[in-house]
Structure 1
Amino acid sequence: MTHPTDTPLYPFKESPSQTAGPYVHIGLTPNFCGISGVYDADLGTAMVDDRTKGERITLQGRVIDGAGNPLTDALVEIWQADADGRYPDGREPGFSGWGRAPADAKTGMFRFDTIKPGRVSYPDGRMQAPHINIWIVARGINLGLNSRIYFEDEAEANAADPVLLRMDLQERAGSLIAKGGGGSYSHDIHLQGPQETVFFDI
């Protein structure tokens, strides 16, 4: 006779992990996929309008795999502070603080039209450099990847940023810095390899 204590407490096996694709675009960006009637416009497409305060910028880039190829099925989301360094609470006119963009099916390029964020304070009171938080999913990625994007023309602020300073390998901080200036920035996300982007465990 089997004693109750001999029965495994959790007899079930772990469910297999699932990747984010290939159907993620159908659910999140139906208009991009040619499916009309779900939303007037895909959510996250427009972050700014004529009322938005701050310096208008364009941010574009690609998600690159370990073989150096752009992922044409990547989906990218960003969230950021407004020009005054505050995260929108829904009451800021003309600025959502959040955007979503699918990669171009041929080039793998994503693009956001937004504003340069203001500086946000760190928990200990130090000011962080202007940055954009980024989240990436694609076929083959089981859990969305979180990272940040800083700006090349904010070198002084970047040098004192408390998050960048916490990195053990300071040379890797460059993987988080978008190139450009004057309102136009480019930034590629490398999933693997010598240029691998720093990702955050959050």
Structure 2
Amino acid sequence: MMERQVSSLLGSLYRPNVGIALFNRRGQVLIARRLGDDGPETIAPGHEWQMPQGGIDAGEDPLTTAWRELQEETNVTSAMYLGEIEAWLTYDFAPYDGPPHRLSPFRGQRQKWFAMRFTGDESEIDVTLTHGSAVPEFSEWRWQELPEVPALVVPFKRAVYEHVAEAFKPFAISQPSSR
């Protein structure tokens, strides 16, 4: 009983979230440059890049969230599911003393990570579009070698990205061209 109470308390301190490693046929992952801070989700000069991620809505399944966030943040709908990390990964936000924000009640984020393979044409990718009420978070995107990505993210996310890079290493290989 006590273990469940502690787990519930810790869960409430971390916002439920998903992350998506979208691989191209060359085994590289899509990263995008953040436009700016989002409350306690701050960026640091030289560390503006990240993979798509986003919050899980109440009652929403994490995989459903991953598909929704992938489309909202990148415009991508042409992808196939490859796998996921079974464990939830957490990170704490950097110290934040700004104005109240929707993320202010949380200590950090608790993430479920998914690997997907991009199956479309690169012209489909657009990180600057607005989908519904979501506003663009990114200014540009590029493909990056997976082992290099942790060094490009803000330091408070780095341990999660290192775990993701190790777990998804089997997907970071070149695929035969179907064209």
Q: Does the pair score TM above 0.5?
A: no
**Higher RCO (C-alpha 8 Å, min separation 6):** 2
Q: Which has the larger radius of gyration?
A: 1
The structure with the largest helix share of the pair is: 2
